[in-house]
């Protein structure tokens, strides 16, 4: 366990909001419910519809499971802190939240990478797709994505547990790894080096196959017919929007924790620091569900069968 005289951390990002806490609590609760319902609905749809048991939709299912995972790591503690007058969290719970949020971020990037590779095979090598991307291989890739992320941040967690803490106030609404490391008065050289290495493993490593895949896809788009271009762009646009949205939130949070941003209004900093934890889980199921015709049609089929059950025709 952490060598410290403190048994808890203080989350210093919260300010006194009086009776507005009930409004903020309601907004946060509604967002959490919407995220949970939307992601769970698409997961169940993919699992129950055998026609969607293909690599692309299995990767999507993994993505939506990760959105639920990240939201559950963030929202329950947020809701409790909004209603509390004392914004503290136990050391063990804080490190658990750090582990969950950071693995959520890593799984998100890695999942988007395998999805980009899947689309590259489907669009650029269509004749070889069925042999290169089997259902078995898709499951292996999904397992690798999750194990890669969990092992990477188990190392981070083990390095943090040896630190001696001389402070316990984290300037954030949730537990943040680098801000916790900055509170240590013991040697943090190894933590800082592995932290930078971790950023490379989390962000840059998955970005390489993503960039390679979309460069090849764009080449096919601009060298093919209009029909090929429209089909490729419609298939890849949700993934690109998801990648850009998530990258923006993560990069801002990395910069915020490492550089002085006192010139930026605190309210704006708080909103942007929550971007990747709220917008991404909210956006993903809606965007992919609306954009991908087979998911839309599967939903319509489910809703249509429900309508028939509720309004049976007379014999």
Q: Give DSSP secondary structure letters for 25-48.
A: HHHHHHHHHHHHHHHHHHHHHHHH
For residue 311, tell me if it sits in a domain: no
**Non-local CB neighbours of 25 within 8 Å, separated by 6+ positions:** 79, 82, 83
E-assigned strand segments in 166-308: 169-170
pTM value is 0.89
For residue 314, tell me if it sits in a domain: no
- Separate counts of helices (H) and strands (E) for the chain: 12, 5
Rounded CA separation 123/179 (Å) = 43
The angle formed by the CA atoms of residues 193, 198 and 203, to the nearest 5 degrees, is: 135
For residue 313, tell me if it sits in a domain: no
Rounded CA separation 183/104 (Å) = 24
The closest of 13, 32, 15, 11 to 76, measured between CA atoms, is: 32
Number of domain units in the chain: 1
For residue 305, tell me if it sits in a domain: no
For residue 307, tell me if it sits in a domain: no
Domain coverage including residue 36: 3-298
For residue 66, tell me if it sits in a domain: yes
Q: Which is it for the CA torsion 254, 115, 227, 129, positive or negative?
A: positive
For residue 92, tell me if it sits in a domain: yes
Phi, psi of 128 (to 5 degrees): -100, 0
- 252 Cα distance to chain centroid: 15
Joined tokens for residue 228 = 């090929």
Say if strands 88-90 and 8-11 run parallel, antiparallel, or are unpaired: antiparallel
The angle formed by the CA atoms of residues 132, 233 and 114, to the nearest 5 degrees, is: 35
- State the CATH number of the domain containing residue 53: 1.20.1070.10
Say how many residues make up the chain.
315
Per-residue pLDDT of the chain (315 residues; tens, 9 = 90+): 555 567 889 998 888 878 889 999 999 999 999 999 999 999 998 888 888 888 999 999 999 999 999 999 999 999 999 999 889 999 999 999 999 999 999 999 999 999 999 989 988 888 889 888 999 999 999 999 999 999 999 999 999 888 888 888 998 899 988 889 989 888 889 998 998 888 888 888 999 989 898 888 888 777 766 776 676 677 677 888 888 889 888 888 888 877 777 777 877 888 888 889 999 999 988 888 776 777 777 777 777 665 445 555 432
For residue 36, tell me if it sits in a domain: yes
């Amino acid at each position: 366990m952490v060598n410290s005289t403190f048994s808890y951390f203080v989350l210093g990002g919260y300010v006194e909001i009086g009776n507005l806490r009930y409004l903020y609590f309601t907004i946060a609760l509604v967002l959490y419910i919407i995220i949970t319902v939307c992601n769970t609905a698409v997961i169940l749809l993919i699992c129950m519809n055998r026609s969607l048991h293909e690599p692309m939709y299995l990767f999507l299912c993994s993505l939506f499971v990760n959105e639920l995972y990240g939201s559950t790591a963030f929202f329950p503690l947020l809701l409790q802190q909004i209603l509390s007058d004392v914004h503290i969290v136990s050391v063990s719970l804080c490190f658990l939240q750090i582990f969950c949020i950071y693995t959520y971020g890593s799984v998100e990037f890695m999942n988007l990478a395998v999805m980009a590779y899947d689309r590259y095979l489907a669009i650029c090598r269509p004749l070889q797709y069925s042999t290169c991307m089997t259902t078995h291989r898709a499951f292996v890739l999904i397992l690798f994505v999750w194990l890669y992320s969990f092992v990477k941040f188990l190392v981070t967690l083990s390095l943090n547990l040896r630190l001696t803490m001389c402070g316990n106030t984290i300037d954030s609404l949730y537990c943040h790894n680098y801000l916790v490391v900055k509170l240590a008065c013991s040697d943090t050289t190894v933590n800082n080096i592995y932290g930078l290495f971790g950023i490379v493993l989390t962000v840059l490593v998955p970005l390489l196959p993503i960039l390679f895949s979309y460069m090849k896809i764009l080449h096919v788009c601009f060298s093919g017919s209009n029909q090929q271009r429209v089909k490729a762009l419609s298939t890849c646009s949700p993934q690109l929007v998801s990648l850009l949205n998530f990258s923006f939130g993560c990069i801002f949070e990395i910069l915020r924790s490492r550089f002085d941003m006192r010139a930026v209004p605190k309210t704006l900093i708080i909103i942007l620091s929550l971007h990747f934890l709220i917008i991404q889980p909210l956006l993903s199921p809606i965007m992919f569900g609306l954009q991908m015709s087979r998911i839309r049609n599967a939903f319509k089929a489910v809703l249509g069968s429900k309508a028939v059950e509720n309004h049976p025709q007379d014999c």
